[in-house]
A and B are shown apart, each in its own frame.
Chain A
Amino acid sequence: MGFVGDTVDSIKSLQIRQVLTQGVSLGMIVTSALIIWKALMCITGSESPVVVVLSGSMEPGFKRGDILFLHMSKDPIRTGEIVVFNVDGREIPIVHRVIKVHERGDTGEVDVLTKGDNNYGDDRLLYAHGQLWLQRHHIMGRAVGFLPYVGWVTIIMTEKPIIKYILIGALGLLVITSKE
């Protein structure tokens, strides 16, 4: 009886240790990803250093599903730059090109008008009611580089959240059941 009890105890303790180790590994992976993301935010000076293109308003340059790398510097905003901005009251950022700039000499404040390359008219229809110009604080970053197609993963996971859950479930299962 004592022998059986000892064996059962040793098996139980082994399993708990294994599960705990794998829980810690999973936690480490998630935390490293978070650290890299926050470091990117610091380096590029932008709240959101990578964005996915969601609409076709900048075609053929940027297509839906492309990823844009952003960088925000203190340099003044000039026409031709592709900027990412948030409209007050809307959470989805928009990626369009600056077509008009009026920079005040005394305060350094700037009025900016944007337009999507593939759109017929400028973005005044997208701005908040009564808003005619964007200011610097609306702008989150300038697009400096891009990778095609990679953003489709994010789009699919947002539009069909069930796939997100399946993926996370499968990953979790893999980590827990791996023998290494």
Chain B
Amino acid sequence: MHSFGYRANALFTFAVTILGFMCALASFTDSFNSPSPSVQVLKVNWFQKQPNGNDEVSMTLNISADLQSLFTWNTKQVFVFLAAEYVTPKHVLNQISLWDAIIQEKENAKFTITTSNKYRFIDQGSNLRGKEFNLTLHWHVMPKTGKMLADKVVLPGYRLPAEYR
């Protein structure tokens, strides 16, 4: 009952339980302010209807944001992506991710980047002419251990050209 093996076992179980508990608690110590990003559509590169009938647009974007406040001791990486959101007659919501990046260091979390869309902006249908859309910057904080947190900022008021080009 009081052998070394018995005591070692009890100690080990206790230590592992405490460790698990601390890992769960680790998520609750994260707190942050809301970053305020800005995104501009510098240029619409081209805008066409594909042979299968779906509209596609390619654009060059300028994205700048400061996500440094999201980084804590428990942050492993921040996954940031920019999604275009719009409504069409048949689809009550369409979300297309246009660009994403993985930020692993706090210094890299304040950035400005000019890029064309990484993923193709293709509609299901031919609804994009003159379409109003929001650009939402999402960020997803992945911790070293524990619960993941996600948040976003919606930037409304963008509009696609009225005609193909």
Contacts and interface: CB of A to CB of B under 8 A. Distances in A.
Interface in B96-114: 96-97, 100, 102, 104
A117 B97 CA distance: 12
A100 B92 contact: no
A143 B142 CA distance: 11
Contacts of B91: 102-105
A5 interface: no
Interface in A54-83: 60-62, 76, 78-82
Contact of B119 (A100, A105, A117, A145): A100
Contacts of B150: 80-81
Nearest to B122: A100
B138 A103 contact: no
Q: Give chain A's interface residue range (CB within 8 Å of chain B).
A: 20 to 34
A61 B95 contact: no
A17 B119 CA distance: 68
A81 B140 CA distance: 9
Nearest to B1: A180
Given A80-B81, A100-B97, A101-B94, A61 B23 contact: no
B141 to A, nearest CB: 10
Interface of B is mostly: strand
A60 B102 contact: yes
A143 B96 contact: no
Contact of B77 (A60, A106, A147): A60
A42 interface: no
B90 interface: yes
A122 B142 CA distance: 21
Contacts of B77: 60-61
A145 B148 contact: yes
Given A61-B79, A99-B97, A102-B124, A144 B92 contact: no
Question: Interface centre among A79, A143, A146, A148, by most B CB within 10 Å?
Answer: A79
Contacts of A76: 93
A60 B76 contact: yes
B51 to A, nearest CB: 15
A111 interface: yes
B37 interface: no
A56 B92 CA distance: 35
A97 B150 CA distance: 13
B79 A117 contact: yes
Contact of B138 (A79, A101, A104, A146): A79
Given A79-B97, A117-B79, 5 more contacts: A79-B81, A80-B81, A100-B97, A103-B94, A145-B147
27 contacts: A60-B76, A60-B102, A61-B142, A62-B142, A79-B95, A79-B96, A79-B138, A80-B138, A80-B150, A99-B97, A99-B119, A100-B95, A101-B94, A102-B91, A103-B92, A103-B93, A105-B92, A106-B90, A111-B124, A117-B102, A122-B119, A144-B148, A145-B146, A145-B147, A147-B145, A148-B144, A148-B145
